[in-house]
Structure 1
Amino acid sequence: AGLILKLGSGFFADAYDLFIIDIVLAVLDQLPASQGLGLTSGSRGLIACSTSLGAVLGMVFFGVVGDRVGRRAGILCTGSLVFLGSMASSLVVRTRSFPLAYQLCLTRFVLGFGIGGEYPLSAAMAAEKSQSEVRGRVVAAVFSMQGVGMIAAALVPLVVLSAGLSLELAWRLLLCFAV
């Protein structure tokens, strides 16, 4: 149960972080121009796909890292990247020299790089650390936490947005919830 909880919590956060961005972008579109990002369809697309691009590269990179330096060290690195990327996404600030949309692209890429690394490492660790007679169930239980994260990405915004918070605070809370 401990292994499922440890690895599954990462998959929960990963799925939440991957699925929350569309809702956050919709919230950002509702902000007044002085608070909003001034998003174009192109910048919306870049923000949305930067996490996926990071995830693909993170899978390849951390698959190799896990084999070379160990899965535990790799999981610690990926978890740190997910934490940093998620927190940094929620803390971006408006500047003239580095627009918020580009900051979100960068922080979401870092988040995605960590998410991508967690996939192969968690799958391998779940398989290696469980006994052969329950291995399939352990791996399935770990991966099933993605579904819970997806559901949370639909329910958490309902709670946050109905709480009467400002939209400026709401989108930031939504981005850092899974931390």
Structure 2
Amino acid sequence: MAGGPGQNMQVLSALDGAKTQWYHFTAIVVADMGFFTDAYDLFCISLVTKLIGRVYYTVDGSPRPGSLPPHVSAAVNGVAFVGTLSGQLFFGWLGDRVGRKSVNGMTLLTMILCSVASGLSFGHSPACVMATLCFFRFWLGFGIGGDYPLSATIMSE
């Protein structure tokens, strides 16, 4: 251990007495924007799946708009959460080994690239488009999973 209880209290007292600086505001805004985009990326898909169903699963001549089959909807919605769990474990471990700030940059880059790629999912058939969407949403969830523990830890430190 680095020090005893007395030294720990001195560090905490110094942190409590420190003046608030521009860096503190910047760190708070960056972490809050990370949490906002995480939630947006994970939960906006429920609205998007309705649109995807109307584009790719509409039957010609039908009076009702198309909708995603239940198994496709579950896959598109759930794959990001599987990626989130995996990303938390991997990036949490990597952040402890390499350093939290540099690994947090990697998670943000992963999130940006996979968000754009999710919007540009490609394919010749609806099944192929859904497969590429699920692939990119998994990796988006992987980046989001890394952002959760790293942002919280960076803010608490």
**Secondary structure of 2:118's aligned partner:** helix
Cα distance in structure 2, aligned partners of 1:39 and 1:32 = 8
| TM-score normalised by the chain length of structure 2 | 0.75
Shift of 1:33: 4.3
CA 1:89–1:32 in structure 2 vs 1: closer, same or farther (change >3 Å)?
A: closer
Which structure 2 residues correspond to residues 145-164 of structure 1 after superposition, within 5 A? none
Look up the SS of the partner of 2:124 in the other structure.
coil
Q: Aligned match of 2:107 in 78, 86, 107?
A: 78
Letter in 1 for 2:40: Y
- Determine the structure 2 residue equivalent to 1:5: 29
Is the deviation greater in 107-116 or in 4-13?
4-13
Contact 2:31 2:155 in 1 (8 A): yes
How far did 1:29 drift?
A: 1.8
In the TM superposition, residue 32 of structure 1 has moved relative to its aligned partner by 5.8
Secondary structure at the residue paired with 1:126?
helix
Higher Cα Rg: structure 1 or 2?
2
Question: What amino acid is aligned across from residue 39 of structure 2 in structure 1?
Answer: A
Number of residue equivalences? 128
**C-alpha distance in 2, partners of 1:57/1:20?**
20
Query: Could you list the per-position Cα deviations for residues 17-73 of structure 1 after superposition, in whole angstroms to 9, with x for gaps in the alignment?
Result: 111000000111222647xx9832111111100110000000000110000000011
Task: Mark the CA change 1:109 to 1:61 in structure 2 (over 3 Å): closer, same or farther.
Answer: same
- Kindly indicate whether the alpha-carbon contact (under 8 Å) linking 1:39 and 1:101 is maintained by their aligned counterparts in 2: no
**Moved beyond 6 Å, runs of 4+:** none
- C-alpha change, 1:38 and 1:66, in structure 2 (3 Å) is same
Identity of aligned residues (%): 38
Q: Which residue of 2 is the match for residue 168 of structure 1?
A: none
1:107 Cα deviation after fit: 0.4
Counterpart CA distance in 2 for 1:43 and 1:32 is: 12
Amino acid of the structure 2 residue aligned with 1:20: C
SS in 1 for 2:44: helix
1:24 aligns with 2:53: no
Q: How large is the RMSD of aligned CA atoms in angstroms? A: 2.3
Given that residues 75 and 134 in structure 2 are in contact (C-alpha distance below 8 angstroms), is that contact kept between their aligned partners in structure 1?
yes
**Which residue is equivalent to 1:165?**
none
* Deviation digits for residues 116-169 of structure 1 (CA, Å, limit 9, x no counterpart): 0001101110011xxxxxxxxxxxxxxxxxxxxxxxxxxxxxxxxxxxxxxxxx
TM-score (norm 1): 0.66
1:158 match:
none
